[in-house]
Amino acid sequence: MGDEIRRNMALFPIGIVMKLTDLSARQIRYYEQHQLIVPARTSGNQRLFSFNDVERLLEIKALIDKGVNIAGIKQVMNPVAKESQDATVLTDDTEEKRKELTDSQLYRMLKQQLVTGRRPGQVSLIQGELSRFFKS
C-alpha cells in the first residue's frame, strides 16, 4: 500500500496519542469538536487516530504552546471538513489487525514513519516532539 494510505490508517487509541502528543484527552477531544482533526471510530465508538491525525495534533500543540487560540489555529491550518480528501481510514480489516498490535509496535510504526513518510515542512517539528520516545 502507498504512503498516503499508511499515513491515514486508523491505528492509535487516544491513550497512546495522549503520550505521543503530550496533550490531555480533554484537549484532543476538544480539537476534534472544532474539526481540527477527524479521527475514525471503531464499531464500539472508540476513536482511532492515524499518523496524519497525530501529526496535526503536534502542529496544534506547537501553536498552542505559542499562545495561539482555537480561532487562530483554524486560520493557520486548513480545515479538515473534506471527508474524501485525507479522511482517516478504518476498514473492518484494519480495525481487527489493529487489535493485534502492541503499544511497542505502534511506537515502532511511528518511528518508521519519521524516516519514511516525511512531508515537507513538518519533519523537524515531529522529530522534536517525538524524540523523547526514541533513543538517539
Partner DNA sequence: GTTCTTACA
Partner DNA sequence: TGTAAGGA
**Rule CB under 7 A: which residues touch DNA?**
13-16, 24-27, 29-30, 44-47, 64
Shortest Cβ 10–DNA spacing (Å): 11
Exposure on the CB side of residue 52, measured as CA atoms within 13 A: 20
Please say which residue, 43 or 136, places its beta carbon nearer to DNA.
43
Shortest Cβ 60–DNA spacing (Å): 9
Please say which residue, 49 or 113, places its beta carbon nearer to DNA.
49
Shortest Cβ 133–DNA spacing (Å): 16
Phi, psi for 55 (deg, rounded to 5): -60, -45
Shortest Cβ 17–DNA spacing (Å): 8
Q: Which residues, in sequence order, are CB contacts of 8 under 8 Å at separation 6+?
A: 50, 51, 52, 86, 87, 88, 89
Q: How far apart are CA 7 and CA 4, in angstroms?
A: 5
Q: Is 26 helix (H, G, I), strand (E, B) or coil?
A: helix
Please say which residue, 63 or 125, places its beta carbon nearer to DNA.
63
Please say which residue, 70 or 114, places its beta carbon nearer to DNA.
70
